[in-house]
Amino acid sequence: MIAEVQEQIRLNEVSGLGLPLLTAPSVVIIEARSLIRECLALSLQKKLALPVLAYPDMGSWSRDPTGSSACIIILSGRETEIDARRSEIVHESSGEQKPVPVIVLSDDFSLDHMSDVIRNGAKGYIPSNTPLEVAAQAIRLVLSGGVFVPAQAAKEMWKTARTDSTANDPKVDFTARENDVVKALLKGKSNKVIAYELGMSASSVKVHIRNVMRKLQVRNRTEAVVKIAELVAKPAK
């Protein structure tokens, strides 16, 4: 079925005046294992209501003209394969005029690996034991401009980071309100959602976020998540 969708997109692109008739952005999955690739593609296509293009490797994706419709890339596979391909795919996607966000689907549940993935430029990290509905919500979050970190991992990161920042870095000392905002940032929530849940104005949220980034000495939300992950990884003094 997935292959049929991809073929239909190709046919649409070469029909008529040569313009694509199907212009909907596509979710791209890169996974070497056929059964997992097809099952993942079929499941996400139903959940996200978006076309899904599935490829066994990066080369197949880059050679397929329909792959240019990618709005997000999901990189899946065994850890050795992910390590070999992740940075190359992130680099290529970020080189486009409009960078394509990358999500890594991984069997590794460690905080260190998740931190490494986000540091390399990925916008999301989905452990392979994540329920399908949660995975779909994570993809929607990244598509809307957010960054997805597993809830339990974010909780552990934040708890450890608070302890480490008190012991090792007195400059990273958040107010109670900034603390609430950082927890929301770690969950990838938008300014609008943060404002609603915390009962404050959008402008106040922006001020708190600027203060948080200043204290962490970072430039954006993704770097803030990475910074906290780095604090977690610091050995205790």
Please report, for the domain that includes residue 60, its CATH number: 3.40.50.2300
Q: Secondary structure of the chain: what % helix, strand, coil (to 5)? A: 60, 10, 30
Instruction: Extract the tokens encoding 97.
Output: 């005029």
The reply to whether the predicted model has a pTM over 0.75 is no
Considering 124, 148, 172, which residue would you say is the last residue of a domain?
148
Is pLDDT of 182 > 70?
yes
Do 170 and 225 lie in one domain? The reply is yes
pLDDT digits (tens, 9 = 90+) for 47-91: 999 999 999 988 898 889 888 888 988 988 765 445 545 555 555
pLDDT at 212: 87
Write the burial class of residue 199 (CB in 10 Å: 0-12 exposed, 13-18 middle, 19+ buried): exposed
CATH of residue 178's domain is 1.10.10.10
pLDDT digits (tens, 9 = 90+) for 25-34: 899 999 999 9
pLDDT at 230: 61
Tell me, rounded to whole angstroms, the distance of Cα 195 from its chain centroid: 22
Give the domain extent around 218.
152-233
Do 139 and 66 lie in one domain? The reply is yes
Q: What does the alpha-carbon distance between residue 55 and residue 76 come to, in Å, rounded to a whole number? A: 11
Do 136 and 176 lie in one domain? The reply is no
Do 123 and 167 lie in one domain? The reply is no
Q: What does the alpha-carbon distance between residue 85 and residue 80 come to, in Å, rounded to a whole number? A: 9
Do 124 and 169 lie in one domain? The reply is no
Considering 89, 116, 148, which residue would you say is the last residue of a domain?
148
pLDDT classification of 109: cutoffs 50, 70, 90? confident
Considering 121, 148, 175, which residue would you say is the last residue of a domain?
148
Instruction: Extract the tokens encoding 114.
Output: 């998740």
